[in-house]
Structure 1
Amino acid sequence: MLALYKTGLPNEGSNISSPNFKSSDSPTTTTPATLSMAYLPNFGRPKGMPPRMGVIKPQDDPKAILPVTLTVCPAIQYRTGARQTSRNCHWMLSWNIGITGTGHIAQRRLHVHHERDIPHLTNWGPMTDAVTRKEQAAMVVIPLKTMTYAERQALEKIAINALVKVPNGQWNNQDWCIEVLEEAVKQGILSALEAKAATDRASQVQPVLAELQCL
């Protein structure tokens, strides 16, 4: 289950990178030396830490056409805390695939996590989590595209291979999602207009006052 995201996480900066949703773009050439300096090894997965596990096996994603969304979990603004902005909100690509044994929505999710006591973000790959009522009430769900099972599998493959940058005070989970979407546009999984429309709306989501968040 996804906890409401705390603010002030590694890489949480104030400037979002400019999306470059152009299907005709050629991949940027990066030398191994540059790559090792810019990105974390092993997708930021800490040594000795077991991978996060979802609640339902990946193969339970139905082979049907399903709406895929760019989902935003608003940051929480505390009265005594630092001022939060839309850049502190957590983004993820997601789609609902069924109901868990406890009656919660089972949701397939592509995003990067901030693990406790780890000074950077981590890409554990796609997983399926249960959506609590609190999460469901707080989330801002933005339509991206209705996708076939094959398209979702292709999107997952992109996410599995999406690297995590070394903390620099600017790049964060939103930029990771944008990079995944940029590659999806290049591969023809969705259009540049679809990607831009979703990210434009997501960037407008503002933090929620702590006293107003759902119980």
Structure 2
Amino acid sequence: MSEPTVTVIPDQGREGLSLPSPINMDWTYPDRDVPHPVHLLVYPPSSPEHTWRDLHWSVAWQPAPGAWRHVQVDTYDVKTDPAPQPRYVFWGTRTSSTDESTEKAAHLPLGTLDREQRRKIEALAWETPVMYPNGDWNCQNWVRGLFEKMVEAGLVEQQTVDKVVKQAEIAHGALPGR
């Protein structure tokens, strides 16, 4: 059996979309120039049948109590927009209020990084391509691609990434909803 084709989608998946990006609350919760722990967030499954490959991953940190700054791709599905639908989209890093799903997510530590290092993660995210949907590629592949760039840039150690990814794979059974 052949591997699914992986092709880069233009403009981080944003090309031709009718809806604006999700709300970014970084004006309310600015990312100040202090070190913050950075995590891989692994969100609980939406149904018990999901495997660990179905779980949403996000690289995130808390710029302030009650808020998280997320580096992630989102699923976008507006049937009247150009194909492919659904697709993954990177809108850019954004800050949101803490919600129940973020609280229930597994918080796997990548390290404590200063603001300049976190800004580098944000820049590397723009260099991490989003792919056309193919039934295999998902947000976890995108985060793994970002991790490769973070290791190359010296922001995290490969050993730390390997440990966190392994924890994410086994966290599936321990997350709420399982």
Smaller-chain TM-score range?
A: 0.7 to 0.9
Which residue number corresponds to residue 206 of structure 1?
A: 172
Indicate the residue corresponding to 2:76 in structure 1.
115
Matched residue SS, 2:167: helix
Structure 1's 96 and 59: CA in aligned 2 closer, same or farther, altered over 3 A? closer
Counterpart residue identity of residue 8, structure 2: Y
Asked whether 1:130 is paired with 2:130, we answer no
What secondary structure sits across from 1:204 in the alignment?
Answer: helix
The TM-score, its normalising length taken from structure 2, stands at 0.85
Once the two structures are aligned, what percentage of the paired residues are identical?
25
Matched, 1:44 2:13: yes
Q: TM-score normalised to the size of structure 1?
A: 0.71
Query: In the alignment, is the contact (CA less than 8 A) between 2:58 and 2:70 conserved in 1?
Result: yes
For the residue of structure 2 that corresponds to 1:107, the secondary structure is strand
Distance 1:50 1:156 in 2: 19
Deviations 1:126-174 (A, max 9, x none): 0001112x22442111011111111111011001222111111111100
Count of aligned positions: 167
Query: Cα offset for 1:205?
Result: 2.2
Partner of 1:175: 141
User: Does the aligned pair in 2 maintain the 1:89–1:205 contact within 8 Å?
Assistant: no
Report the AA paired with residue 76 of structure 1: S
Q: 1:158-212, CA deviations, whole angstroms, 9 ceiling, x for partnerless residues?
A: 0122211111111110010000010110111111111111111111122689xx6
Question: Does 2:136 correspond to 1:151?
Answer: no
Q: Which amino acid aligns with 1:125?
A: G
Q: Could you say which residue in structure 1 is the equivalent of 2:81? A: none
Partner of 2:82: none
Q: 1:184 to 1:39 in 2, by over 3 A?
A: same
Structural mapping, 1:179-190, within 5 Å: 179-190=145-156
Moved over 6 A (4+): none
Question: What does 1:43-122 correspond to in 2, within 5 Å?
Answer: 43-47=12-16, 48-57=18-27, 60-77=30-47, 83-99=49-65, 105-117=66-78, 118-122=85-89
Partners of 1:92 and 1:110 within 8 A in 2: yes
Structure 1 residues without counterparts, runs of 5 or longer? 1-14, 16-33, 100-104
3-state SS of paired residue (1:62): coil
The verdict on how the C-alpha distance between 1:58 and 1:189 changes in structure 2, with shifts beyond 3 A counting, is farther
Task: Tell whether the 8 Å contact from 2:60 to 2:68 is kept in structure 1 after alignment.
Answer: yes
RMSD: 2.4
What amino acid does structure 2 have at the position aligned with 1:120? R
What residue ranges of structure 2 are gaps of 5+ in the alignment?
Answer: 79-84
- 1:76 CA displacement: 2.0
Deviations 1:38-63 (A, max 9, x none): 11011101423212221223981010
